[in-house]
Structure 1
Amino acid sequence: MSPATNTTDRVQKLRALMQSPEYNVTAFVIPSEDAHQSEYVAECDERRAYISGFTGSAGLAVVSLESAALFTDGRYFLQASQQLDSNWTLMKSGLPEVPTWQEYLVKNLPAGSRIGIDPLVFTATDAKKLETDLAKVGSSLIPTANLVDLVWEGRPARPASKLKILSTKTTGRTHTEKIQQLRRDLEKKSVAGFVVSGLDEIAWLFNLRGSDVHCNPVFFSYAVVTPSYVNLYLQEKSVSQEARDHLGSDVVIKPYETIFDDLRAISSTLQANKQKFLLGSRTNLAMAVALGKDNVVEARSPVTDAKAIKNETELEGMRQCHLRDSAALINFFAWLEEQLANGTGLDEADAAERLEQFRAEQAGFVGLSFDTISSTGPNGAIIHYKPEKPSAARINPDLVYLCDSGGQYIDGTTDVTRTLHFGTPTAHEKRCFTRVLQGHISIDTAVFPDGTSGYLLDILARRALWSDGLDFRHGTGHGVGAFLNVHEGPHGCGTRIAYNDIPLVPGMTLTNEPGYYEDGKFGIRIENIMLVRKVDTPNNFGGRGYYGFEHVTLVPMQIKLIDRSLLTHLEVEWINAYHAECLEKVSPFLAKDSPGLKWLQREAVSI
């Protein structure tokens, strides 16, 4: 993890620009997202990280003429406290007495303030609500150019990777079939067309992948879909003849930068015909302005919903890539244990690099799905820790080791966390680990009626922890793409009330990752990917139908970290059955007499 950056010069230059007659704003707001509202962004769009020095994936910065504040959630409290310099105040979102960033703009800045934003990186929905709140104190929202871009010396160029075409052997449906389904959805909504702005949505819709964003197989693009035409806006360097042939004559390829000119042209037609265009609720404000705010309807993207429910081909791809990925992780743990036993001096970054090499040996491997979290002792308490040379700590076999990692494969995406101890864990560490494991088992074995959301299931992951007065400050689960982004909505499992709007249905993927973290000491997390499936129950109250989960991650839980005295009989049965499944299904992917196979045979036993 990178240390604190001296941001004095950057902040001073930004304030000078804010005070210039051309902009004249009291404050400038810098979110993490790009023009596509991506969670993970290309280097050229890491504006919040550049201005603040905080490199976590989630957060928002507000720079006023007098102060600078960084808002982030509980996953990043510790990391942000270490990366922010004295120019910044850390606002720990969600804690009592800590305002939201919107409240901060209204209550902490002078009445009548002019709040600058880049309309490309703000959603129309957020901007509308913020305008209303600011008006109560006489303040106003001022769309401007992105002022961080103007002071960013050496800003990287926008990447333009060559497009990769996916076969229906891995997607299960052609892009033509997906577009036909989208058009049927648009007809039901009585709209004239739809702007697709999410990068993963476009990649999924057209059965294409790229590498413009680190660890995310996406490419910079927009799309417009109507009953009569489809426009796909791409960077010229990305397009090959193979891609043109794949898309066919029904998809018109246009330059990436021309989308806004086309939307302005569409605007006049919509107004004349008294029609509406659909914009996803995460579409940027600049698009809503180009189309005309009175000409649009905002709703959750139908592509997001369709993408979240995997077809049988995609589900089988997830099963198969997880078998290979589990084998890679088992080989890594066996290797790491041997290196530490031999006294080899390994740091966290060395381990992360070796794990990537083990994954690269597996069929269909494309790259990592996120930067590996390889953390020893206190670094494990930094929930999204990234080991970097030369600051990476040497792995201490007498401390808890947490490894959260994943791979991108041609047939799916993986995300798995295991917590290990290579020495003798304390009774407290074992008790904490076991409470986390009990929460993991409770989610894995849940059976629930149709209409149930991840918001309602979240308590299952925390119940055992709560019994000891413990908890964790992150979600219990998120959706995962099929050879796409490792974080995928709209569903999830956690305390965010928005998750209650999205019931879990068969075909969805969901991680199961409760944890516990003690700052300065250790971190514990156990994570599998699961598929939502139908479950046969003895009864069917209300005729609703009942669902459950199928786990596809198959890596043993370390027995030496389990306090068996805390477990129920059913929890013991689950661990024994899970270990038997790991042994049966992953052994064929490990070389005979290999360290990995021997490690699996030793660890995947009954307790």
Structure 2
Amino acid sequence: MLVPPPPQTPTISLPPKQQAMSCLLPFTTSRKSKSSTLSTFSDDKTPHSQTPRFSPPREEAFPQANFASSDDSEREVALAKLKVEMEERKVDVYVVPSEDEHLSEYVAEADLRRGFITGFTGSAGTAVITRTENLLYVDSRYWVQAPLQVSSAWKVKRVGDKDQRNWSEDLIKGSETECLRIGIDPSVISAASGGAHSASIGPLLDAPNLVVVPISQNLVDLVWTSRPSRPTTLIDLHPIEFTGLHASKKLAAFVESETFQSLSSKPEGYFLSTLDELAWLLNLRAVGDIPDTPVFHAYLWIPLSTSLNSFSSIKTLFINPVKLSSEASCYLDGLGIVVRPYDEVWSFLQEVGKSLSMSMTEEKQSKKRVVLTGQSVTWKAQLAVGKDSLESVMSPILESKAVKNEVELEGMRKAYLRDGRATVRWMARLDTLITKENKQIDEFEAGDLLTRYRSEEKNFRGLAYENISGSGPDAALPHYSPVKGKCRIVDRETPYVNDSGAQYLDGTIDTTRTMHFGTPTKEQKDAFTRVLQGHIAVETTVFPQGMSGAPLNILARKALWKAGLDFGREYFSSERAGHGRWDELTIGSYLSVHEGPQGISTTNTYPFRVGHVISNEPGYYKEGHFGMRVESALECVEVKTEGSYGGVTWLGFSRLTRVPIDRRLVETSLLSPEEEKWLEQHNELCKTDILPLLKGKQNQEAREWLKRC
């Protein structure tokens, strides 16, 4: 049995998932009694060096969803039935994207259609099913994981590897020799550009030999007999003490947005389908609809004119009414919002489209009447309103949400401080367990231990995303998440990467640290130090107002490039976000961990503004061996400079994250004097801010560990 440090008080009640970690921590006996759901640490004194150093990841060592209980034979039956449905609808190809009806990056279990039909559990990827082949297209984050999870019935396409095209480009290329009929559910694919996370129908519609057939009944749903229902959890009102601005003022500012004033068309209303924008605008949150993201399934219609029918001149929320408490219903009524059932949105949009079409026929107008929407909208919405009547614009909500107000910023500063305390306590305990007590801790246990410490903090509402906790070759998989009882032991020979976050009422956390519990090799130290140099270069840069994040991409890679190293190069010029491609977006305020519109890629042209909060996350991944990553959240701030060239306002970054860097991985001979000073000041600031929060005998271990950093 584990012999813990002295108990901590007071005892608190935790959700069942977090109760499972009680045996890892210096808590009371009552918590230990709840540890039966956790695999037991081995007290065996076998040296960690006996752990296979570079063993490849196993298929089962990946995150599982409800559909993962289906074996390959069951999946093959569903796939065969789907092909029968394709034949009945006379389509040659059926496309299954990862997204839901709101083009969300992360989706509810009921919407994991691509995951169910393929067995692949990654958050991104597209399945293309033909009469003779089954293809799965994935980016570099999943090049290793995807082949291990899918059966031999599937062929994995590694997009960007050896000039491998994406799925739509392959279909267009294939149509050069034969005409293809492609079926797709129009509610789960973008109408145009595709945005940051979603697949797009646009290129296919323009291809001469492709016929794209919108199939309203999702074919995967027809063959997924055990498909779960969407949750019906109640919606919460997010208080003004965390939002800093009442929803009525947000709505008023939205209607008066400059975006609408400069249009050549006449907007009749705005169709809002993006879940985090809707939650932010109305100051509402919900836990349970989408794992780890406090949003809810709904659509919002906001009238911008009164020239159409009376039904479209009222703010309308389309949502499952059982999700609304009496308090939420009264709140919406106070905002002048009527509620209609979720599925009625499509008939509503069709009626709006008909009214617009009739008005164009009956009247000669100086300005064309249109429905506005953001740049991430489904093909189904376009079909309902009419292509000529639906106009996409840069969402004013997206832009406003990205610029945090002072209440939101102060909340995030406090949240990152508390989370820093939890993370330091975790780092100290994990270090002790592995290096001093010689415990065999696996990747799942290590990550879940941090979750337990976070759950002790004020305003904690759950994780921000599934723990990424990897050692050895698993750390080289940017989105690897271990499975309880089926993962590697955290060894002493390779770096251990923990990329995880929490949802607090006053802020969303996104932090990555790399640790080593033995003696790093020269190769490991060299690679980590170059990653750290890129991290430092981004954080310390000063730039003129109006600059986008594109130049920062090169700063993050400069030190790696000097050694002929890189990461995610196939997406070097992509606008999409992700760990392997290092193009993180805005971090939300108790919302999504990935937002926008700014980012750090060579194609992103959106300028940084004071109040943006982004993550700084370079990394390096040696497939089959080890990986490393350093990530901190940065607040964009105005910087005072000695000069004032052209009256330009200069911007820079202030770090929110308060988690020390593991010096064991740093090769100081590679650092410049300025970089050495940065590292010293970085860890000293963590001590200054976190040590006063580590009071009492129960935190003695964490205090001593932090002082040594």
User: 1:203 — aligned with what?
Assistant: 279
Q: 1:10 aligns with which of 71, 78, 83?
A: 78
Alpha-carbon contact 1:115-1:139 (below 8 Å) kept: yes
User: 1:45 — aligned with what?
Assistant: 111
The superposition leaves residues 510-563 of structure 1 with CA deviations (integer Å, 9 ceiling, x where unpaired) of 100100011111110000000111111122323331110011001111111110
1:584 is displaced (CA, Å) by 0.9
In 2, the alpha carbon distance for the partners of 1:416 and 1:427 equals 25
In 2, the alpha carbon distance for the partners of 1:131 and 1:510 equals 33
1:171 is displaced (CA, Å) by 0.4
User: 1:477 — aligned with what?
Assistant: 584
Distance 1:88 1:133, change over 3 A: farther
Structure 1: unaligned runs, 5 residues or longer: none
User: 2:181 — aligned with what?
Assistant: 114
User: 2:555 — aligned with what?
Assistant: 460
User: 2:377 — aligned with what?
Assistant: 283
Q: Give the 3-state SS of the residue equivalent to 1:394 in structure 2.
A: coil
In 1, the alpha carbon distance for the partners of 2:601 and 2:473 equals 25
> Quick check: 1:123 aligned with 2:190?
yes
The superposition leaves residues 154-181 of structure 1 with CA deviations (integer Å, 9 ceiling, x where unpaired) of 0010112210111111101011111111
> Quick check: 1:220 aligned with 2:297?
yes
Distance 1:542 1:128, change over 3 A: farther
Which 10-residue stretch deviates more, 406-415 or 157-166?
157-166
Q: 2:644 aligns with which of 540, 548, 551?
A: 540
The superposition leaves residues 327-384 of structure 1 with CA deviations (integer Å, 9 ceiling, x where unpaired) of 1111111111111121222211112221111000000000000011111111101110
Q: Where does 1:462-541 land on structure 2 (aligned, <5 Å)?
A: 462-473=557-568, 474-495=581-602, 497=603, 499=604, 501-541=605-645
User: 1:152 — aligned with what?
Assistant: 224
In 1, the alpha carbon distance for the partners of 2:640 and 2:105 equals 37
> Quick check: 1:329 aligned with 2:329?
no
In 2, the alpha carbon distance for the partners of 1:94 and 1:576 equals 39
In 1, the alpha carbon distance for the partners of 2:394 and 2:111 equals 24
In 2, the alpha carbon distance for the partners of 1:87 and 1:546 equals 55
Which 10-residue stretch deviates more, 343-352 or 375-384?
343-352
Alpha-carbon contact 1:445-1:548 (below 8 Å) kept: yes
In 2, the alpha carbon distance for the partners of 1:378 and 1:139 equals 42
Q: Give the 3-state SS of the residue equivalent to 1:490 in structure 2.
A: coil
1:476 is displaced (CA, Å) by 4.1
1:234 is displaced (CA, Å) by 1.2
In 2, the alpha carbon distance for the partners of 1:225 and 1:543 equals 40
Distance 1:442 1:576, change over 3 A: same
In 1, the alpha carbon distance for the partners of 2:118 and 2:507 equals 34
User: 1:598 — aligned with what?
Assistant: 704
User: 2:213 — aligned with what?
Assistant: 142
The superposition leaves residues 281-335 of structure 1 with CA deviations (integer Å, 9 ceiling, x where unpaired) of 2111111111122212112222111111111111111111000001111111111
1:122 is displaced (CA, Å) by 1.1
The superposition leaves residues 428-478 of structure 1 with CA deviations (integer Å, 9 ceiling, x where unpaired) of 111111000000000000111112111221100000000011111122432
In 1, the alpha carbon distance for the partners of 2:670 and 2:163 equals 37
User: 1:246 — aligned with what?
Assistant: 331
> Quick check: 1:100 aligned with 2:166?
yes
Query: Residue type matched to 1:564 in 2?
Result: T
In 1, the alpha carbon distance for the partners of 2:189 and 2:142 equals 22
Alpha-carbon contact 2:511-2:657 (below 8 Å) kept: yes
1:187 is displaced (CA, Å) by 4.1
In 1, the alpha carbon distance for the partners of 2:201 and 2:675 equals 49
Q: 1:24 aligns with which of 69, 86, 90?
A: 90
Which structure is richer in relative contact order (CA contacts within 8 A, separation 6 or more)? 2
Structure 2: unaligned runs, 5 residues or longer: 1-61, 194-199, 305-312, 361-368, 569-580
In 1, the alpha carbon distance for the partners of 2:439 and 2:319 equals 48
Determine which structure has more spread, i.e. the larger CA radius of gyration.
Answer: 2
Alpha-carbon contact 1:407-1:415 (below 8 Å) kept: yes
Alpha-carbon contact 2:172-2:204 (below 8 Å) kept: no
TM-score, length-normalised on structure 1?
0.95
Q: Give the 3-state SS of the residue equivalent to 1:160 in structure 2.
A: coil
Q: Where does 1:198-597 land on structure 2 (aligned, <5 Å)?
A: 198-211=274-287, 212-227=289-304, 228-249=313-334, 250-274=336-360, 275-340=369-434, 341-473=436-568, 474-495=581-602, 497=603, 499=604, 501-593=605-697, 594=699, 595-597=701-703
User: 1:164 — aligned with what?
Assistant: 236
Aligned positions, number? 596
In 2, the alpha carbon distance for the partners of 1:439 and 1:97 equals 27
Alpha-carbon contact 2:189-2:201 (below 8 Å) kept: no
The RMSD of aligned alpha carbons is 1.6
In 2, the alpha carbon distance for the partners of 1:139 and 1:198 equals 29
In 2, the alpha carbon distance for the partners of 1:503 and 1:414 equals 23
Q: Give the 3-state SS of the residue equivalent to 1:459 in structure 2.
A: helix
Alpha-carbon contact 1:491-1:502 (below 8 Å) kept: yes
Alpha-carbon contact 1:160-1:220 (below 8 Å) kept: no
In 1, the alpha carbon distance for the partners of 2:708 and 2:684 equals 12
The superposition leaves residues 82-124 of structure 1 with CA deviations (integer Å, 9 ceiling, x where unpaired) of 2122112211112332122112112235621110010001111
